Amino acid sequence: MAQSYSLFLGCIMPNRYPAIESTTRFVLDKLGIEIKEMERAGCCPAPGVFRSFNKPDWMVAAARNLAIAEANGADLLTVCNGCFGTLFEVNHALKNDEELKKDVNARLADLGYHVEANQEVKHIAQVLGFDIGPYGIRDYLKRKVRLRGAIHYGCHFLRPFHLKQIDDPEDPTILEDYFEALGVELIDYRRKHACCGAGGGVRAGHIEVSLEMLGEKMAAITEVGAEAILDICPFCHLQFDTGQKSLNEKFGTNFNVPVIHISQLTAFAMGLDDIGLEYQTIAPDFKLEAVEL
Amino acid sequence: MIVAFLCQNCAQGAANTAGVQRMRYSDEIHIVRVPCAGRAGAREILHAFNNGAEAVAVIGCCFGACHFSDANLITLRRVKIVKKFLVEMGYSTDCVTMYTSRAAEGDTIVGDFEDILERKYDPETPPCPGGAK
Amino acid sequence: MSKSEKKGKQRKTRKAKNKDEPAEQERPRVGVFVCHCGENIAGVVDVKDVAEFASHLPNVEYSTDYLFMCSKQGIELIQKAVKEHGLNRTVVASCSYEQHWPTFAKAISDLGLNPHMHTQVNIREWCSWVTDDKKAATEKAKRMVAAGVARASKKEPVATRKIPITKRTMVVGGGVAGLRAAMDLAELGIPVVLVEKETSIGGHMTMLNKTFPTNECPMCTVSPLLNGVMSHPDIEVLTLSEVTNVEGTMGHFVVEVTTKPRYVHDNCTSCGRCADVCPVEVENEWDHGFGMRKAIYKPFPQALPSVFTLDTKHCIDCGSCVIVCPVDAVDFSMTKEERTFEVGTIVVATGYEEYDPTEITAYHYGHPDIITQLQMERMLAPTTLTKGKIVRPSNGEVPKTVVVVQCVGSRNDQVGNEYCTGVCCMFGIKNAGIIKDHLPDTEVYFCYIDIRTPGLYYEEYYKRAQKKGIRFIRGRPSTITPDPTGDKIRVEVEDTLTHMPMCIEADLVVLSAGMVAPRGFGKLSAKLELLRAKEGFAKEYHVKMGPVRSSRDGVYLAGAIQGPKDITQTVAHAGGAASAAAQPLVQGFLEKRMDTAVIDEELCISCLGCVTTCPVGAISVAEGEKPKVNDVACKSCGACVPACPVGAIQIRNFRDSQLNAEVSALLSVAAELEGGDE
Amino acid sequence: MSVFKNPPCVLDSGKRDPTIEETLKAAGFDPNLCIQCGTCTASCPSGRWTAMRTREVMRKAAFSIEVVLSDPDIWLCTTCYQCYDRCPRDLQVTDAIIALRNLASARGFISDKHRKTVDLLHKTGHAVPINDRIRKIRKELGLPELPPTVYCYPEELEKLGKTLFQLPPRPEDHDEEEER
Ligand SMILES: Cc1cc2nc3c(=O)[nH]c(=O)nc-3n(C[C@H](O)[C@H](O)[C@H](O)COP(=O)(O)OP(=O)(O)OC[C@H]3O[C@@H](n4cnc5c(N)ncnc54)[C@H](O)[C@@H]3O)c2cc1C
Ligand SMILES: Cc1cc2nc3c(=O)[nH]c(=O)nc-3n(C[C@H](O)[C@H](O)[C@H](O)COP(=O)(O)OP(=O)(O)OC[C@H]3O[C@@H](n4cnc5c(N)ncnc54)[C@H](O)[C@@H]3O)c2cc1C
Ligand code: SF4
Ligand code: SF4
Ligand code: SF4
Ligand code: SF4
Ligand code: SF4
Ligand code: SF4
Ligand code: SF4
Ligand code: SF4
């Protein structure tokens, strides 16, 4: 039986970086993974802002998304750390707390949904980096890339550790191994595992602070001469992409490092030329260099 | 009448301290000396109920301070099991409890006594085995 | 419940067969003595009424009251009554068991009765002093006396036994604790077997460079003890040895010790020629990465016994050492040896191990410039690779900035060690100070959560370190990360006192890793049947009153195996353990009150409920036999009694029949008295 | 004179708000267990650039003083979970901050910028809604112009908007009757 996932789009991917969506679909298709659409799904909702305003409401909205995936009969797949953070946490909470599940279902009933929390919530980076893995992916590659890349993990993929238990958040290797398999030469930089500054409603509420955090990361990334930032989350992607422009305007810097999502880079290595970098704010003319196998 | 099995270390020590401090508690409390709370088990508790006790307390040293290497934890488990039988027989589980106390502090054990006394009088719960009229 | 009643009946019918039950005793003749204690009792309880009531109770032959029972006259009154009325049991209704049971028990034993035939009923602390209402107090006293009389009627004599013991001790673990204990015991004339698993004795103390609070050389401090132990005629030292089996109980343990072959005989003169020619060089475990050794080696120059050891794991069998040895000490044919020893008591002194910080991944232990304090001690030792110089292990340069990080693996719920090691603040300060002394131009930062220096001379030691200019930062680093763009180690920490987050770019980071229970102790403690605390250390018998006793009789704890300790505390603790372990051996026998558990073999169905329950492992079972209680080990707690589904195991004088008689009498008198009222 | 009667150093226990402590405990953070070690602050990416000190937020929460709720500092956390993963007392620091924000929100302490995000969610079902440029790009990339999300289902969107995230007004324009 072919593997299938309910693909959760979220907000930023379809509404800001559609190329991440198109490359994700391309990659899943090449891997022979069936995509079940999640009609009527909404915002995950974002773990920073909405959970902060009203955690119970946030749970209900997230449970609604989980319910849509359950009705599809396929585990939920996210392409974003924020969505993963929310949906994983709520799914986990519902799995482990019958009382909570009852309460949430009582409120969901009014909206016409019911959640069982009997499925898994997965991140695309887990599927690529672990399920398929750095060895497995070789079978699907048409070419490799020549690129000095700096990885940015983001926060909600690996943390909090006791919930996620995917890899050690202080020194993970899952993405390093994977990107290396695609041909990337990886460079470490200071505070590699620190936050990009976007989350928690800080980008929305305190853009200056959010940019300062980004600036610190960007300075470290440029210092080591990375040619691209490799990420796994459209929100980090947005922060790095548009944030560099804002930094340049505000602080007179001249950051210009292209930002590439794991799906985009994988699609490229699988032979897709148009991975949508031209639509991005920073370095729209950047071209990936291919290395034939 | 309430039967309280007290270990010869902390629990009896606490009862003696309560006396020395002239604290007050109900004359319904009857202390039965046991070497260790571990000596009181289901047979002892049920025997007391069969003979008309309205509530039974087992009182030992604080957990971690048992003078016989954690035998009081064994007792705690046993008391829980007795509660299970009582439920199955349709009785209140309230009227048997394990407590711990500190020899130097009379009020810890007087508090235990007061607590067990309240359990006896609870009209909300089905009758205790011995207390059933 | 009817089921258990039936069981009860069954037991009664079979009771006559149980030779241990006190069935064939003469008819009980009980005397009741109610005390006034001045106004203490009589002011609340109507003592005359109680004595009158008692006279009608079953088996009571005589009943009276008196002003002060414990006075000389009171005791004479009791003795006279016993003689005149042929009493064989006494009940004194007065004060607590602790206060006067011994007094009255002695009074009757002076007359030739067994002291355990006396029953104390506490109508003072448990009745007159806690009850306001005089009538209620009097009724309660009556119920108590009735219960006491019922109990007394069922009592049985209890013997005291003298048990001879083997006058020899085994000390397991040859650190400073084990050495101290062995020496103290041997000085009392008790033969000692000292079992050490490593090639040499001395433990962690011999790895240290200096010791707080005096900064003395630990080798100098401990070597008289090391030499003393090695040369003492009453101490047999077994190195490369471990305890592989333990049988028996206090007074008579049979311990099997397995000794690994050293491949070098004791005639080795420690000349070192073999090591000179040996082609194999490996890391010396003793030096924690700061020293090398050959495949035939001595871990450190002063190691005792002063005999080389051949490490077959690394040896390539070239034979050079055999050829060069002037006394033909090297011998590949040596094999593992097993010996058994009979000993009366055992002292466990297996010490501790340094916490391995790898688990705290944010600290990146494993990088060459991030080391532990024990590694620092070795780096500072003149015999290791750096010859005592402080350098960055990665490049051999002198560090300009050093950060000492406290509470690594202690006070940390995430790694499961909630406790404060209590020693690391002191050794952290020690080494920070030594670094500052060696390298005055180097900045030394000391990151701590709290500084804990309790005890005489310890805060003073801290103050001296402060004077040296060490920068104390109150904050726990969140991360310690090697800089990917340079060779510094970045330590991120908040100085919580100025609320300032900062990043220190260090050349060398020293982690004050805590002390944890040694690896392999689980196996040893299982052989010895010792309880362990959840932290892994051996659990003491009582944290205040028995810190050197273990959960098992006859096994004592010395030093850091009972919990982290510095050397001062370790030595004091070991001394205490030695005297506790010597006590029964010096006396020559154990005196034991036999109110212990007994099993009625006919009733026993071999379910082993009691065996698994006994908290001290006093019940053992041999293949195909019924379980047996070891009288010496049993502590008379009675925890086994409720575990038995058929009532086969009982403890003397707290049998089911005895306890039930007391409770029944209490409750039936209560019902009677209540009925009479209405 | 009365101005000087109560110097600010006098701890006014009347100002304690016990709900703060209770809420935090329910969120897995007993503020009394914090040993003020500063691991959280040192972990915090926000504290590097602002005056926010995670440790201090926790301290104020332990005192249960209401100012911790109106303090914009609690909105500087990016929920990066570094403090949470490193706290030696295993306190769930980030969850505690979320709990504080929930309390603050319930009392109307939400910035206008954040209110806008909620408006977007109510209107479009997304925190970041689509625009014309993206519609065009989606077509170019061969994707449906509009993803089939709740945005395409206005009735359901309206129902969601009515059920979820009804924010109380800011405390300034807060009048007596509206209090719940
Ligand atoms: C870095 C550091 C610095 C320190 N500095 C100081 C200081 O300056 N001043 C001070 O007072 N204290 C200091 N201490 C503490 C000191 O090391 C201890 O107090 C002391 O060593 C404890 O002695 P011990 O005999 O109990 O344990 P150990 O020294 O650990 O000895 C235990 C012995 O038992 C052996 N053993 C273990 N398991 C078995 C087994 N199963 N069978 C047989 N043998 C076994 C071991 O090989 C070892 O020889 C320091 C500790 C550290 C970590
Ligand atoms: C407020 C407080 C709380 C404490 N709480 C704890 C606790 O919770 N847990 C804990 O472990 N420890 C606690 N301690 C410490 C504990 O009290 C001591 O460790 C312990 O009492 C020391 O016992 P000691 O026998 O050495 O001294 P002491 O108890 O002081 O006994 C010394 C005895 O010697 C007698 N004496 C003195 N001089 C002479 C003389 N010249 N001739 C004859 N007799 C003399 C004294 O009268 C006294 O009876 C506490 C201490 C204090 C002050
Ligand atoms: S025996 Fe006890 S109660 Fe009686 S006088 Fe003596 S101290 Fe008082
Ligand atoms: S084994 Fe022989 S050569 Fe080696 S040190 Fe001993 S005596 Fe010298
Ligand atoms: S035989 Fe082994 S120990 Fe001896 S010299 Fe050769 S390698 Fe070294
Ligand atoms: S002694 Fe000091 S360094 Fe060690 S655990 Fe305790 S407080 Fe931390
Ligand atoms: S009385 Fe206690 S110590 Fe003795 S055998 Fe029974 S359980 Fe073990
Ligand atoms: S619990 Fe009773 S029946 Fe079971 S083995 Fe022990 S003595 Fe025998
Ligand atoms: S890390 Fe934990 S214990 Fe330390 S200050 Fe922060 S919340 Fe408190
Ligand atoms: S979770 Fe929030 S408070 Fe904690 S370190 Fe990250 S940004 Fe700071």
Q: Tell me, what CATH number does D50's domain have?
A: 1.10.1060.10
Q: In C, residues 334-393, which contact B (CB 8 Å cutoff)?
A: none
A190 chain-C contacts, CB cut-off 8 A: 483-485, 490
Tell me the average pLDDT across D45-73: 91
Domain range annotation of chain C: 3-159, 169-346+551-587, 353-516
CB half-sphere exposure, C274, CA atoms < 13 A: 31
B near A: at least 3 beta-carbon pairs less than 8 Å apart = no
Q: What is the pLDDT of residue C633?
A: 84
- List pLDDT tens digits, range C539-596: 888 788 889 999 888 999 999 999 999 999 999 999 999 999 999 999 999 888 899 9
Q: What is the pLDDT of residue C346?
A: 98
Confirm or reject contact between C673 and chain B (CB < 8 A). Answer: no
Residue A7, pLDDT > 80, answer yes
Tell me the average pLDDT across D55-64: 90
Q: What is the pLDDT of residue D176?
A: 38
Distance A293 CA to ligand 5 centre (A): 50
Cα separation, C137 vs C144, in Å, equals: 10
> Are D129 and D90 in the same domain?
no
Q: Contact C65/C34 with Cβ under 8 angstroms?
A: yes
- Alpha carbon distances (Å) from A196 to A260, C500, D78: 15, 22, 9
Portions of chain A given CATH number 3.40.50.11810? 133-292
Q: In C, residues 486-505, which contact A (CB 8 Å cutoff)?
A: 490
Cα separation, C97 vs C101, in Å, equals: 5
CB half-sphere exposure, B44, CA atoms < 13 A: 32
Tell me if C616 and B65 make a contact (CB, 8 A cut-off).
Answer: no
- From A187, which residue of chain C is nearest by alpha-carbon distance? C484
Q: What is the pLDDT of residue C396?
A: 94
CATH number 3.40.190.10 given to A133-292: no
CATH architecture, domain B2-121: 3-Layer(aba) Sandwich (3.40)
- Which superfamily does C353-516 belong to? FAD/NAD(P)-binding domain (3.50.50.60)
Report residue C338 as tokens.
């097993």
By mean pLDDT, which of B90-94, C17-21, C115-119, C540-544 is the weakest?
Answer: C17-21
Confirm or reject contact between A223 and chain C (CB < 8 A). Answer: yes
- List pLDDT tens digits, range C128-169: 999 999 999 999 999 999 999 999 999 999 998 888 899 999
CB atoms within 10 A of CB A119: 18
- Of the candidates C620, D80, C530, C592, the residue with the CA atom closest to the CA atom of residue A191: D80
Of C202 and D169, the one with more pLDDT: C202
Q: In B, residues 62-121, which contact C (CB 8 Å cutoff)?
A: 64-71, 74-75, 78, 89
A170 chain-C contacts, CB cut-off 8 A: 361-362, 364, 479
In a domain, D116, yes or no: yes
Cα separation, C628 vs C618, in Å, equals: 8
Ligand nearest to the CA of D38: 9
In a domain, D177, yes or no: no
Position C216, amino acid: E
Tell me the average pLDDT across A243-272: 97
* Axis crossing angle, helix C97-109 with helix C72-85, rounded to the nearest 10: 50
Indicate whether residue C424 lines ligand 6 (CB < 6 A).
yes
Tell me the average pLDDT across A15-27: 97
Q: What is the pLDDT of residue C677?
A: 45
Q: What is the pLDDT of residue D10?
A: 67
φ and ψ at residue B36, rounded to 5 degrees: -150, 150
- E-state strands within C488-543: 489-495, 500-506, 508-513, 515-516, 540-542
Ligand nearest to the CA of C39: 3
ipTM above 0.90, yes or no: no
B near C: at least 3 beta-carbon pairs less than 8 Å apart = yes
φ and ψ at residue D28, rounded to 5 degrees: 90, 20
pLDDT band at A2 (very low <50, low <70, confident <90, very high): confident
Q: What is the 3-state secondary structure (H, E, C) of B37-101?
A: HHHCCHHHHHHHHHCCCCEEEEEECCCCCCCCCCHHHHHHHHHHHHHHHHHHCCCCCCCEEEEEC
Q: What is the pLDDT of residue D179?
A: 35
B67 chain-C contacts, CB cut-off 8 A: 542
Neighbours of D (≥3 Cβ pairs closer than 8 A)? A, C
Report residue C280 as tokens.
């194999």
Tell me if D38 and C476 make a contact (CB, 8 A cut-off).
Answer: yes
- Name the residue with the closest Cα to ligand 9, atom 4: D37
- Name the residue with the closest Cα to ligand 3, atom 2: C95
Number of residues in chain B: 133
- Of the candidates C86, C566, C547, the residue with the CA atom closest to the CA atom of residue C351: C566
Mean pLDDT for chain C overall: 93
Segment (H or E) for C324: helix C320-324
Indicate whether residue C644 lines ligand 8 (CB < 6 A).
yes
C467 contacts: CB under 8 Å, gap ≥ 6: none
Q: With a cut of 50, which residues of chain B have pLDDT below it?
A: 133
Q: What is the pLDDT of residue D174?
A: 42
Q: H helices within C352-410, ranges in order? A: 373-380
Q: What b/e string do you get for C272-302 counting C-beta neighbours within 10 Å, with b at 16 or more?
A: ebbbebbeeeeebebbbbbbebbbbbbbbeb
Closest Cβ–Cβ partner in D113, D150, D165 for A53: D165
Query: Any idea what the Cα angle at residue A131 is, between residues A126 and A135, rounded to 5°?
Result: 110
Distance A104 CA to ligand 4 centre (A): 78
Q: What is the 3-state secondary structure (H, E, C) of C62-97?
A: EEEEECCCCCHHHHHHHHHHHHHHCCCEEEEEECCH
Q: At which residue do the structure tokens 């019922």 appear?
A: C150
To the nearest whole Å, the CA of D37 is away from the closest chain A CA by 20
Tell me if C478 and D90 make a contact (CB, 8 A cut-off).
Answer: no
To the nearest whole Å, the CA of C486 is away from the closest chain D CA by 21
- Name the residue with the closest Cα to ligand 8, atom 3: C604
Q: What is the dihedral of CA C77, C81, C84, C85, to 10 degrees?
A: 170
Confirm or reject contact between A168 and chain C (CB < 8 A). Answer: yes
Report residue C298 as tokens.
């001595």
Q: What is the pLDDT of residue C502?
A: 96
In a domain, D174, yes or no: no
Cα separation, A62 vs D153, in Å, equals: 17
pTM: 0.82
In a domain, D81, yes or no: yes
Confirm or reject contact between C652 and chain A (CB < 8 A). Answer: no
- List pLDDT tens digits, range C223-268: 999 999 999 999 999 999 999 999 888 899 999 999 999 999 999 9
Indicate whether residue C597 lines ligand 7 (CB < 6 A).
yes
Residue C1, pLDDT > 60, answer no
Q: What is the pLDDT of residue C504?
A: 97
Q: In A, residues 211-270, which contact D (CB 8 Å cutoff)?
A: 212-213, 216
Confirm or reject contact between C335 and chain A (CB < 8 A). Answer: no
What's the sign of the alpha-carbon dihedral C117, C121, C122, C128?
negative
CB atoms within 10 A of CB C503: 18
Q: Contact B53/B130 with Cβ under 8 angstroms?
A: yes
Residue range of the domain that includes D130: 112-161
Tell me if C130 and B23 make a contact (CB, 8 A cut-off).
Answer: yes
Residue of C608, C612, C656 to test ligand 8 pocket, by largest number of atoms within 8 Å of CB: C608
Tell me the average pLDDT across A131-145: 96
Q: What is the pLDDT of residue C675?
A: 63
Q: What is the dihedral of CA C601, C607, C612, C614, to 10 degrees?
A: -30
Segment (H or E) for C259: strand C252-259
Q: What is the pLDDT of residue D86?
A: 97
Among A6, A7, A15, A107, which would you mutate to test the D interface (most chain D Cβ atoms within 10 Å of its Cβ)? A15
Confirm or reject contact between B132 and chain C (CB < 8 A). Answer: no
Closest Cβ–Cβ partner in B39, B46, B53 for C667: B53
In a domain, D121, yes or no: yes
- Alpha carbon distances (Å) from C330 to A155, C305, C311, C333, C510: 60, 16, 12, 9, 40
Indicate whether residue C310 lines ligand 5 (CB < 6 A).
yes
Q: What is the pLDDT of residue C530?
A: 85
Segment (H or E) for B5: strand B2-7
pLDDT band at C24 (very low <50, low <70, confident <90, very high): low
- Alpha carbon distances (Å) from C25 to A192, C30, C58, C113, C665: 85, 14, 17, 13, 21
Please provide the CATH number assigned to the domain covering C3-159: 3.40.50
What's the sign of the alpha-carbon dihedral D40, D42, D44, D50?
positive
Q: In A, residues 50-79, which contact D (CB 8 Å cutoff)?
A: 50-55, 57, 60-61, 64
If one counts the domains in chain D, the total is: 2
> Are D117 and D106 in the same domain?
no
The beta-carbon contacts of D47-52 under 8 Å, at least 24 apart in sequence, are D47/C494, D47/C501, D47/D76, D48/A213, D48/A216, D48/C501, D49/A209, D49/A212, D49/A213, D49/A216, D50/A209, D50/D76, D52/D76, D52/D77
To the nearest whole Å, the CA of A194 is away from the closest chain D CA by 7
Cα separation, A64 vs C63, in Å, equals: 82
- Of the candidates C520, C537, C546, the residue with the CA atom closest to the CA atom of residue C419: C537
Indicate whether residue C407 lines ligand 6 (CB < 6 A).
yes
Q: Contact C156/C625 with Cβ under 8 angstroms?
A: no
Please provide the CATH number assigned to the domain covering C169-346+551-587: 3.50.50.60
Task: Give the strand pairing for C479-482 and C309-310.
Answer: unpaired
Report residue C256 as tokens.
């099997």
Distance A219 CA to ligand 4 centre (A): 61
In a domain, D1, yes or no: no
- List pLDDT tens digits, range C466-507: 999 999 999 999 999 999 999 999 999 999 999 999 999 999
By mean pLDDT, which of A285-289, B62-66, C196-200 is the weakest?
Answer: B62-66
- Of the candidates C403, A57, C480, A195, the residue with the CA atom closest to the CA atom of residue D84: A195
Q: Percentage of chain C surpassing pLDDT 70?
A: 96
Q: Which fold has domain A4-123?
A: Glutathione S-transferase Yfyf (Class Pi); Chain A, domain 2 (1.20.1050)
Q: What is the pLDDT of residue A164?
A: 95
Portions of chain A given CATH number 1.20.1050.140? 4-123
Residue of D93, D94, D95, D97 to test ligand 9 pocket, by largest number of atoms within 8 Å of CB: D93
